[in-house]
Each structure stands twice: as structure tokens, then as C-alpha cells.
Amino acid sequence: MIRRAAWLAVALAVPLPATAWAEVPDQAGWNAARQSVDLGDGLVAGYVELGADPAAATGTPIVLIHGYTDNSRSWSLMAPALAEALPGRRILALDLRGHGASSAPDCCYAPDSLAHDVGRTLDGLGIERADLIGHSLGSITSAYLAATEPERVNRLVLISTTVKMPAEPTQWLWENVPALPATIDPDSQFMRDWFSNPNPVPDAFLDIERAEGAAVPKQVWMGVLQGLTMLDWSLLAPRITAPVTVMWGDQDPLFGPESQDWVKAALPKADHRTYAGAGHNIFWEQPQQVASDLAAHLTD
């Protein structure tokens, strides 16, 4: 934790140029582009500005929320196309608790706690209402916030989502995550499997993703897994008032067709879109297409 805190202090101390939010940072510059919000209780949340200058932006802010052991960098492949398609919009990619530049306390990592952090982050950034785009764990977190604080969510996009955890991937995670060493090898077979994709994704991006995933503290790996295992938000779904788009790749090894049946039953009025041949990380595999589809859904 001391090493993580020291890294965070250095990363946040790097001065940002005045135009930092006008351009999506490249992979090498991502950490330096991170900013932070004080959430109180000794916690901070990291984020990266990807769209228009907040002081000059128009329309509803767009907030991107990543998946389990990813961080704001997860959106870096798609963000340039999304920012180009929606000029003038403020676009922010958040780091969830325990990920990226955000604090990693001993607990609590279930979707309700993560959603609470997202709400506090929006408060700290002066955002009353946003369009939320969440991937995997981030989609569940976004759905939870949209159901419990519906006045805060204008539109909701759930990428590679589920209402509850399917048995087989849950068992696989429980067989592997508790056995992870304190220092995880980013090139281990587990990490390569965890970040695998059925279609090509740039190695330069994946190498950093695996390294940053391996650096996620063990209590975060375990806390998220415990929270997801207890998950079932089907009874919350009717409380979501925002228009919903669900994006799913039909080669998703974590949340397969059974999961999508659950999602369709919980959100029957949602726009459900299937990406043939795509896996769990659709927006890594098809960034231009997903950005175009998102822009169509999020146009004010």
C-alpha cells in the first residue's frame, strides 16, 4: 500500500498542460493525465478527461466506468473515436475503488459501494446528471447507480453485462483468484487468460493492461469477486428510468447467452445489440464501430 500511495502522489503531482483534456492521452501519457477527486474519509477517486474543456463543454457529460481489474485506460482505444464523434461533450473515464489511481481500502468492493463512490465522484466534479457507459463490473455499477439514484442518470449503456454471475465463470474465478500470489506475474497463464480476446487487440495496450491488472491489490481482487458472487440486481432493474442500451459480443466467455436472457428479462424495454464474433471486450476489438454506435445513442 505504501508503494501504491507513493506512485499515486507522483502521478497526481505531474502538472497537466492546459489542453490536456482536449486530446485523448496516448498509452505512455495516460498515468500523467490522471486527476483526482477527494471523496472524504481518506479516499480519492482517479479520472481522466477525454473530451471537451469542462468550462466550455456542452450537453450532458459522458462518464465511462471500466471493468474488474481494468482502469480508466480501458477506454483508451475507443476514446479518440468517441471524442471525435461527439465534439463539445465532456467525457470522463473513472478509476473505480481499488483500481488505477483510486484509493484501495481494505473493503468494500461490491457494486453498491462502487456505485456510491461514483456518485460522490460526480458530486466532486460538479456533475448533477450524466450519461453512464459501463463495461462488465462497470456496467453493473452503472446499473446500480441508475436504479438507486435515477435522477442522476440521463442515458445508460451496459457493455458485456449480466444480472447475476453465471456458474461456470464464477467457479473458474474462485479456483484462481484466492490462489493468486501477493505479487502477480502479468505474463502468467491466468493473466493471459483473463485478458484474452477472440480478435486482435494491440499488444502495446494489452501488455500495460495486464501489468496494471497484476498490480491491483489482492483485497480488491477478492472483494470484487465476493461482491459479484452475491449479485442479483433483477429486483432493482424496474427502478431504472433512463433509456438503456445493452451491447454484447456473442463470443463473450464470461457472460454468455444465458446471461443475456437474464438481462433481457430484467430490462425488456432496452435496446439490445449483439456484435457477431466479438468477445467480452467489444470496444477493444471493435473500437470504431462501438464508438459510432455509442455516439448515435448519446447524441443530445
Query: In this structure, what CATH number is given to the domain that contains residue 219?
Result: 3.40.50.1820
Question: Strand, coil or helix: what is 212?
Answer: helix
The grid coordinates of residue 267 equal 430490462
How far is CA 60 from each of CA 72, 89, 91, rounded to the nearest angstrom?
19, 7, 9
Percent of the chain residues topping a pLDDT of 70: 92
* Angle, CA of 180, 209 and 228, to the nearest 5°: 55
Q: Which of 189, 165, 211 is nearest to 70 (CA)?
A: 211
* Residue 300 confidence (pLDDT): 63
In sequence order, which residues have a C-beta less than 8 Å from that of residue 245 and are 6 or more positions away?
155, 156, 157, 158, 270, 271, 273, 293, 297
The pLDDT tens digits for 106-148 are 999 999 999 999 999 999 999 999 999 999 999 999 999 999 9
Are residues 120 and 94 in contact, defined by beta-carbon separation less than 8 angstroms?
no
Can you give the pLDDT at residue 299?
87
- Residue 275 phi/psi, 5° resolution? -110, 105
Closest CA to 30 of 104, 101, 99, 90: 101
What domain range is 46 assigned to? 2-298
**Number of domains, the chain:** 1
Residues annotated as part of the active site:
136, 280
- CA–CA distance, 74 with 7 (Å, rounded to integer): 19
Specify the pLDDT at position 12. Answer: 35
Q: What is the per-residue pLDDT across 232-249, written as a single tens digit (0 to 9) for each?
A: 999 999 999 999 999 999
Give the model's pLDDT for residue 6: 34
CA angle 199, 85, 299 (to 5 degrees): 110
Alpha helix segments (H runs only) across the chain: 2-13, 30-33, 79-85, 111-124, 137-148, 167-176, 189-194, 203-214, 218-229, 257-266, 282-285, 287-298
Mean pLDDT per 10-residue run, the chain (300 residues)?
34 35 81 96 96 93 98 97 96 98 97 98 97 98 98 98 98 98 96 98 97 98 98 97 98 98 98 98 98 92
- Give 206-213 contacts, CB < 8 A, sequence gap 24+: 208/27, 208/73, 209/70, 209/73, 209/74, 210/186, 211/186, 212/70, 212/71, 212/73, 212/100, 213/69, 213/70, 213/184, 213/186
Of the CA atoms within 13 Å of residue 73, those in its CB half-sphere come to 25
